[in-house]
Amino acid sequence: MKIWIKSGTVVDPVKGTSKKSDVIIERGKVAEILPPGVFKGERGKFREIDASGKLIVPGLVDMHTHLREPGYEYKETVATGGMAGVAGGFTALACMPNTMPPNDCRSVTEFILEQAKRADRCRIYPVAAITVGQKGERLTEFGDLKEAGAVALSDDGWPVTSSELMRRALEYAHYHGMAIISHSEDRSLSEGGAMHEGSVSTRIGLPGIPAASEEIMVYRDICLARLTGCPVHIAHVSTAGSVELIRRAKEEGLSVTAETAPHYFSMDHRAVVGYDTRTKVNPPLRTPEDVEAIKAGLAEGVIDAIATDHAPHSSLEKDLEFERAAFGMIGLETALPLTLELVRGKTLSLPDAIKKLTWNPASILGVPGGSLTIGSVADLAIIDPECEYVLREEDIQSKSKNSPFIGKALKGRNDLTIVGGRIVWERKT
Ligand code: DOR
Ligand code: ZN
């Protein structure tokens, strides 16, 4: 069925504009974007959607999701993660390889894509492992993985400790036109840590993870980008020091890109005081000064993308003593309101905020999407930016509920998601 979205504000992150428009969708494509009142469609031939007061944005693209399949289906599957994604306004998810077995060979990549086809919700882009078994010893077959459908490479969850191996990975990936997404962590400093090392960890008696454990590896990766002339993407940037290193690398003209996750600009280490294991993430929530630096990094374009690092865990891994609990929080269904907070706080313009959730991550991954123009594939979301609500556990589509934002007041919500011209999510309440 053809779709006629009426009187919404179309946000074009590429042109940097937002304009009141109607959007017509036909045969899976954006057929028209025109001022309201101009289009005269025949009644009954269209599914008509009133979008007045709403934003029409390109479908969000998450370049860093954990879907847990194969191996940890009790936490999330491609189907449940895809559902959480479309509920949150995402039309494409790049899923990390730390599954069981890890996505380090063609058969696992193909399996994930098969499950994605079966789930038929949003686009799924597998990110394959850099090293076999994510053990940091031997490179995987990048060409083979690319042919199977992997779009990028990462050992996310684990660093590639050997600089020599990382150098080869950057060269080999560049040859294949695949991005390397670096989980920058010096394990010799972070091992045994449970939260950011600082005044709060000292006070509440938890072992710390110093900012330096991230910054040392960010600098190592920047040095390798300089040495090889190959691009590197830094995942989940959390510290002021990392922002400064990436700023300087960009000024130097190196091919370095970076992402952060909404929790790094929405919360700081004081949130851990009550030992709520849902606040335990890796890298950890940092200081208020780091939060400010992350926001400044986003505003200045030092940080290119906002990715969720959606990390579902069950109560088996989370209802434990803080030190024993797993790292990670879900994020697909809260990324949008938390990012819109940056717009309300004047850190980012609306088109810029949307660009960091769409065009920029799509470009870094080299996947389609991220723009909303006539003729483009109809992947889009209709957002109510003014909707105020308290996040309830029962509203969460993800199989896991490990979000510290449950019970918190949020503003801005995705109402409807379209993938390839088909409505895949519509909010009922
Ligand atoms: O908090 C995290 N959770 N950080 C990671 O690097 C991995 C992730 C996970 O897989 O749970
Ligand atoms: Zn991750």
254 — phi, psi (to 5°)?
A: -75, 155
The per-residue pLDDT of the chain, averaged, comes to 98
* The pLDDT of residue 43: 84
Q: Whose CA is nearest to atom 4 of ligand 1?
A: 282
**What are the sequence ranges of the domains in the chain?**
3-56+376-426, 60-365
In the CATH scheme, what architecture does the domain 60-365 have? Answer: Alpha-Beta Barrel (3.20)
Question: Angle at Cα 38 formed by Cα 32 and Cα 40, nearest 5°?
Answer: 80
| Ligand 1 pocket: which of 259, 282, 310 to mutate (most atoms within 8 A of CB) | 282
Indicate which residue of 290, 304, 309, 384 is catalytic. Answer: 309
For residue 220, pLDDT over 90 is answered with yes
For residue 428, pLDDT over 90 is answered with no
Task: Give the model's confidence band at 11: pLDDT under 50 very low, under 70 low, under 90 confident, else very high.
Answer: very high
* The pLDDT of residue 396: 98
What is the CATH code for 3-56+376-426?
Answer: 2.30.40.10
305-306 β-sheet, strand order: 60-65, 90-95, 123-128, 152-154, 179-182, 232-234, 256-260, 305-306
Is the entire prediction scored with pTM above 0.75? yes
Comparing C-alpha atoms, which of 127, 162, 131 is closest to residue 146? 127
Mean pLDDT of 334-346: 98
Q: Which atom belonging to ligand 1 lies closest to the Cα atom of 157?
A: 6
